[in-house]
Amino acid sequence: MRFTEVLMPISIIGSFGLTIYFFTKVFTDYVLKKKMIEKGFVNEDTQAIFKKHTAAANQYSPLKWGLLALSGGIGLILIDYMSVDMDSTLPFGILSVSLSVGFLVYYFIVKQHLQK
């Protein structure tokens, strides 16, 4: 049994599940904000909380995706330079480790920046 026969259904089901999750999250956040506005719970303090939450979440997003793309690219370059059997799981491990290192670098940069 080839790994592509196993990984293809997992990736399709996983991407479908992530799509449903993010759609549901965005939709429920929208409904919650709409109901809060209708009930009159929104004042300047509440609006400041919404703006602060979205600003903090989006402030480091380019750094995260840039580091993930860089570390993923480095992992793919390493895989290309190694002579690996097509049925080996080593390329998946190298790519996973390189992406994990990228996420760890991102985490420590953001943690260090927020502590200042």
Is 113 found in the same domain as 72? Answer: yes
d(C-alpha 7, C-alpha 5), whole Å: 6
- Predicted confidence at residue 52, as pLDDT, reads 63
64 and 115 assigned to the same domain: yes
pTM of the model: 0.57
Same domain membership, residue 115 and residue 69:
yes
54 CB-side CA count, 13 A: 7
CA distance 60 to 36: 28
For residue 23, pLDDT beyond 90: yes
- State pLDDT tens for residues 93-107: 999 999 999 999 999
Answer yes or no: do 116 and 64 share one domain: yes
Is residue 95 within 8 Å of residue 71, measured between CB atoms?
A: no
Domain extent for 85: 60-116
